[in-house]
Structure 1
Amino acid sequence: MFDDLPPDLARLDALRVWHALWLERIDRKIAYLRQREAEEEHGRRNRPRPPDWIVELSTGTGEPIQVHDGECSMTGTRQRAIDRDEARRLLTTGQVQACPFCHPDTQLHIIDLADRTRPPRRSLERPGRPAPTGTAATLT
């Protein structure tokens, strides 16, 4: 019938036990992977929302340094979540600066801080050179 199987009963029994052990091992691995996938999916669904605002803290004193949007990737490792009112208070009292990347001052509609937190625009004038005027030919 099956020419590739051994002809005696003892070896066939040994093969059956060996395959049963492998099937049990494979079934355990499948169950483990299904459990892990279910746990990862549960973690993805129940992951807490990022905070709306974050204050970055000094490593030395723990004092607030900068305010960031909750999804800003430029925050340091020492931080804590704050609410909208505290973010506005920290920015308007001048205790901390707004992050130059996520611009929480703009998101919080604090218009007058834009000049303090962002570096000034560079002038085209250079020391020892006259200010550029007119066309591109005169801008050498």
Structure 2
Amino acid sequence: MFDDLPPDLDRLRTLRVWHALWVERIDRKIAAIQRRQAEQERGRRNRPAPPEWLVQLGIGSGRPPIQVHAGDCRMAGSRHRPVGREEARRLLAGGLPACVHCRPDARLHLLDLDPAAAA
């Protein structure tokens, strides 16, 4: 049984130390991965809910609003601000265009602004 190990005590002790160092190294890596996974899970649990509605902002002076999006729309770009339901309805009713991908006008039941409903 296990005849491939060295026959003398000095080399066996050297192998034991070497393997103990590797086990310690592996244990440190496992602990680091467990800490990182726990941090990621805490981050997922503590992440704020996405806004219900977004207004995409233009560039330049005053950054005027240019389009209304649903809060989960990927087409909103990086320049946007969250708005409430009533402000989104007011902006759409005031003539601000709705995103053609997420259709906030249809989600807000503003069918008179919905081009598909007019057809």
Task: Please report the TM-score for the alignment, with normalisation by the length of structure 2.
Answer: 0.87
Q: Would you tell me which structure has more helix in proportion to its own residues?
A: 2
1:39 is aligned to 2:39 = yes
Q: Which letter does structure 2 place at the counterpart of 1:39?
A: E
CA deviations 1:20-61 (Å, max 9, x no partner) are 100000100111111122222222222221100000001234
Gaps of 5+ in 2: none
* Superposed CA offset, 1:84-107 (max 9, x none): 11111111122x211111111121
Task: Tell me which residue corresponds to 1:53.
Answer: 53
Larger Rg: 1
Runs of 4+ in 1 over 6 A off after TM superposition: none
Q: Counterpart in 2 of 1:84? A: 85
Equivalent residue pairs, number: 117
- Rounded to whole Å, the distance in 2 between the matches of 1:114 and 1:25 is 62
Task: Flag the structure with more relative contact order, 1 or 2, with Cα contacts below 8 A and sequence separation at least 6.
Answer: 2
Task: Tell me the percent identity.
Answer: 61
In the alignment, the residues of structure 2 paired with residue 100 and residue 13 of structure 1 have an alpha-carbon distance, to the nearest angstrom, of 72
Amino acid at match of 2:77: G
RMSD: 1.9
1:65 aligns to what SS in structure 2? strand
TM-score (norm 1): 0.75
Provide the secondary structure at the position in 2 that maps to 1:67.
strand
